[in-house]
Amino acid sequence: MSLDHRLTPEHEELRRTVEQFANDVVAPRIAEHYEAHTFPYEIVREMGKMGLFGLPFPEEYGGMGGDFLALCLAIEELARVDSSVAVTLEAGVSLGVTPIHRFGTEAQKREWLPRLCAGEQLAAFGLTEPGCGSDAGGTRTTAVRDGDHWVINGSKSFITNSGTDITGPITVTARTGPDGAISTLIVPSGTPGLTVAPGYSKVGWNASDTHELSFTDCRVPLANLLGDEGRGYAQFLTVLDEGRIAFAALATGLAQGCVDQSTAYARTREAFGRPIGANQAIQFKLADMEARAHTSRTAWRDAASRMLAGEPFKKAAAVAKLHSSDAAVTNAREATQIHGGYGFMNEYPVARMWRDAKILEIGEGTSEVQRMLIARELGLTS
């Protein structure tokens, strides 16, 4: 495997395009949505027209024919400006569309992928439950055969993109069969028996869509089984391994955004007759912040390179996710400190970044879970 993580001209062109979109389109609009807790449909619509939701999927299904690296580059550039928009793309593609593309039948792909790749619909991934987070094997939601249908009962928590006006398929893990093995089912939004609770009141990611879902005798056709029955646990482990790389890219974007905002502020903010950036204490803070962002970027690109080369990447993905989420939280704290009182004002992007950072140590596998995975890959067991 090559250790050169520099981008190809095609990847660099994509990165620059998304960077410009984030600066010109997302940045001027997102604060209003964030404070109002509203979903930025117009931004998502434009992302769809750009092809961002179809980046890693084949053209025959309406995708852009790109790869996973391209998706992660787009996520990082969006997250440099706003994490709500970035996680809408990350969850919609990495967790939402990927299971259907990876495990779906040809009929399922033809039915769902074109609209998802175009951003006309968003997909959601229903894994976490009220009493079952890191221990995803403890799934309690059930699906029982009844004639030509599955009958689903249970609930899911913290599900991104699950309650928008354009939500389409929701992939749901549930116990099926007498042995209680976990399978994955596609539940279209609006299916009778599926109830979407009001949106959560969240600390951050306020312009993203997150809901609790409940299923009461919710019926879907047997043909909505995604992949083989009883293989749902293995499927979502694969999806989460890849998703952690995308999540690391998002965290890297936030960490870098903190550097960008703080550097610009340090150049213009004066105290005691000179810019605060002339003070070595501020310079060293920014140097450490840049080092964290750079290392995080190297880590997720290394994991992505291993994945695309067909090499084992579980440990690399866990390392990237662990390091980048820690970097994001630390950089957000330092950025707020550099901004002083203004860092506590929501009109400044770093205040939004501070609120958005903490979830990065929790979502798609907590930092503790990442350490468990890394230790296991080192051959340590308990």
- Here the tokens at position 76 are 């990082």
d(CA 184, CA 6): 37
Residue 315 CA to residue 374 CA, distance in Å, equals 5
Question: Which runs of E-coded beta strand occur in 255-374?
Answer: 270-271, 274-275
Would you state the structure tokens that stand for residue 165, as one six-digit string? 């006006």
Which residue is associated with the tokens 């970097």? 327
Pairing of strands 167-176, 122-126: parallel
Task: Tell me, yes or no, if 364 is annotated catalytic.
Answer: yes
In the chain, the largest separation of any two C-alpha atoms, in whole Å, equals: 79
φ and ψ at residue 189, rounded to 5 degrees: -55, 140
Q: Which of 212, 242, 361, 364 is catalytic?
A: 364
CA atoms within 13 A on the CB side of 147: 4
Q: Which two tokens stand for residue 111?
A: 């039915």
Of the candidates 229, 146, 236, the one whose C-alpha atom is nearest the C-alpha of residue 193 is: 146
Q: Within 13 Å, how many C-alpha atoms sit on residue 77's CB side?
A: 24
> Around Cβ 214, how many Cβ atoms within 10 Å?
18
Catalytic positions, written as ranges: 364
